[in-house]
Structure 1
Amino acid sequence: MISEYWMWATWLTKVILYLSVAFVVGGAFCYFLLRQYLELKESILKYITIGAGLGLISSTLGFFILIGSFANTGITGMVDPTYINILVNTPTGYIYVLRSISFALLLLLMVVKLNRNKGHFSIIESSIFCILLIPIIFSFSQLGHVANLTLLAQILLSIHILVMSLWMGSLYPLWKTSREISGLPLKDRMHVFGRIAAFIVGILIACGASVALLLIKDFNTLINTAYGYGFMVKMFFVISILLLAAFNKWYFTPRLQHPKFAKHLSHAILFEMLLGLSILLTTGYITTVVGIE
């Protein structure tokens, strides 16, 4: 049985992993959305780089925490050579190693990009970025309580993770945008994001609902299990962030030519970020600490 502190350590690394993927995916999206604003480009590149670094740390640490939970001999058990040798030769071990390598190469790409001080991504760089992102996104469907689902369900989950990361990871760059630019340019970019976000939310809900129906097979699971309770808490945060996003789109965005509304939008995005973090914390909790029966 996994000791409690290993379980909480796993939860923490998973939340950091969620954040790292959000930084990378959302940052990349906003990089292209806001590419004409040079004052934002460098900060977004640094944001993506931080995400890649956090991803490498969380993936590597997650591997050794899993080793430690198997050995169950304290911190020193994290580097137990016997269990390391066993784990690296399992499908789970392959996923951890592949994800860590992908993040490491992504981090290298971003560091080189920052050092060269070139704001434009070439086709080759963009292709490498996307290729490295594929195993990272797909790895979520290969570990934990969803690993035994059908291929279709795993694909749906991967798409869900991708669009969720795009949305959540876009919030910080958008918040920074609301503070760096103003007037009609801000209104235009927020309007474009709002149109794309409407499409993203549709995919997010469709994929998320499909996977949820596969995991929660009956109503009793929802109302009589810890996983079900946690899932309902998560849904509360999801509905809240959807309502806030809709309010931002339909109320604040049309009025962004006025400075006071840009300030209000900035505060609303901060609250949206808080709700997003709550969703990630809850998701990590129900998939790691609680689990589904």
Structure 2
Amino acid sequence: MLNALASADAVTWLSIVVKALVYATAFLAMGSVLSIWALRRLPPSEVQALRRLSVLCAIGAALLSLARLPLRASFLMGGTWQGATDPMMLTMVSESPLGSSIALRLVGLALICAVMLPARLGRPLAAFGVITVAASFVFRGHTLEEPRLLLAALITLHILGLAFWIGAFAPLYRLSGANTARVAGQVSHDFGRIAVWVVGALTLAGGTTLWLLTGNVLTALFTAYGQFFAIKLGVFLAIIAFAAWNKLRLTPALLRQEQGAGARLRGSIRMETALVALILLTTAILTTVSAPEAVNQTARAAAEGQITKMNKGGFL
């Protein structure tokens, strides 16, 4: 894995960055909708801000997702930019699992934008959009292996849990200002109550997925997937530590309106945001370098004489 990254070319690194940004924007779009639905004591101004954020992130995620198509085509042409405009390569990519994944994601992102409609109509449509976007990520990568349905369900659950966690950052950060610290405490209390179940779901989904893909957790540590999973697990445990501190110390302090509690919560959220960004980047690297369907696509492109030189940087 490290050898593949060390020899990665510009197309591979650009693909990793774009994929990480797709994760970030899509998860923010989903998480904003989930926060509106789950955090019932959010002030109306915060609900409106989350609506705007979800739409902006949905648009960004759609554009970034579409950008992945020419990047994949470029990789299949040996990392040359000519592939980004080659009709045959673009057709191959659009008909691949990546193309199906992006098509479904675009539908889900469009539905998320319905959150701007009146709540009675907009929220159900946006909620369905959230599920659709989450499901779009299971059309490729390791979910192409067996048991596909179980892996798809586990990864969808994992995505929804992480999206909710990410979506709560913005309103909690804004509310932790001096004038709304008590409201922040109330919302943080609601978030902490739900987060306990989210942590359990993330742990169950992640652990079961690793076991299904490797068969032996200890043996998995000697594989690229297991090593990157170990990195993600370590970062996740750090996030849990911050979350526990928020729930047990900062939330009660906010409710008591203690001096400096809001500033400490903001600092904790900044650290959690950085750690989540590291998780998303690690996931982007892992799925870029070891996506199973990329092997099949590369073989198909080679058979059709489309690859001019093998890219040593890994798969998109």
Which TM-score band applies after superposition, normalised by the shorter structure?
0.7 to 0.9
After superposition, the Cα gap between the structure-2 partners of 1:93 and 1:123, relative to the gap in structure 1 and judged at 3 Å, is: same
Q: Is the 8 A contact 1:34 1:40 kept in 2?
A: no
Q: Distance in 2 between matches of 1:191 and 1:73?
A: 49
Three-state SS of the structure 2 residue aligned to 1:258 is: coil
Three-state SS of the structure 2 residue aligned to 1:194 is: helix
Q: Is the 8 A contact 1:70 1:83 kept in 2?
A: yes
Q: Distance in 2 between matches of 1:89 and 1:164?
A: 29
**Percentage of identical aligned residues:** 26
Range that drifts further, 27-36 or 146-155: 27-36
Give TM-score scaled by structure 1 length. Answer: 0.86
Q: Among 13, 38, 59, which residue is 2:18 paired with?
A: 13
Q: Distance in 2 between matches of 1:259 and 1:26?
A: 30
Q: Distance in 2 between matches of 1:53 and 1:213?
A: 35
Partner of 2:302: none
After superposition, the Cα gap between the structure-2 partners of 1:237 and 1:91, relative to the gap in structure 1 and judged at 3 Å, is: closer
Deviation at 1:183, TM superposition (A): 4.2
- 1:1-293 matches, within 5 Å, as 4-32=9-37, 33=39, 36-72=42-78, 74-104=80-110, 106-107=112-113, 109=114, 113=116, 121-150=118-147, 151-179=149-177, 181-219=179-217, 221-256=219-254, 257-289=257-289
- Could you tell me which amino acid in structure 2 is paired with residue 275 of structure 1? L
- Could you tell me which amino acid in structure 2 is paired with residue 126 of structure 1? R
Deviation at 1:270, TM superposition (A): 1.0
Deviation at 1:17, TM superposition (A): 1.7
Give TM-score scaled by structure 2 length. Answer: 0.81
After superposition, the Cα gap between the structure-2 partners of 1:220 and 1:40, relative to the gap in structure 1 and judged at 3 Å, is: closer
- Could you tell me which amino acid in structure 2 is paired with residue 66 of structure 1? R
Q: Distance in 2 between matches of 1:88 and 1:286?
A: 22
Residue-pair matches, total: 284
Q: Is the 8 A contact 2:100 2:139 kept in 1?
A: no
Q: Distance in 2 between matches of 1:234 and 1:95?
A: 23
Question: Unpaired segments of 5 or more residues in structure 1?
Answer: none
After superposition, the Cα gap between the structure-2 partners of 1:63 and 1:287, relative to the gap in structure 1 and judged at 3 Å, is: same
Question: Unpaired segments of 5 or more residues in structure 2?
Answer: 296-316
After superposition, the Cα gap between the structure-2 partners of 1:246 and 1:196, relative to the gap in structure 1 and judged at 3 Å, is: same
- Could you tell me which amino acid in structure 2 is paired with residue 7 of structure 1? T
CA RMSD of aligned residues (A): 2.6
Q: Is the 8 A contact 1:172 1:273 kept in 2?
A: no
Range that drifts further, 69-78 or 242-251: 69-78
Q: Distance in 2 between matches of 1:261 and 1:229?
A: 37
Q: Which has the higher contact order (CA 8 A, sep 6+)?
A: 2
Deviation at 1:100, TM superposition (A): 2.7
Q: Distance in 2 between matches of 1:219 and 1:127?
A: 39
Q: Is the 8 A contact 1:102 1:133 kept in 2?
A: yes
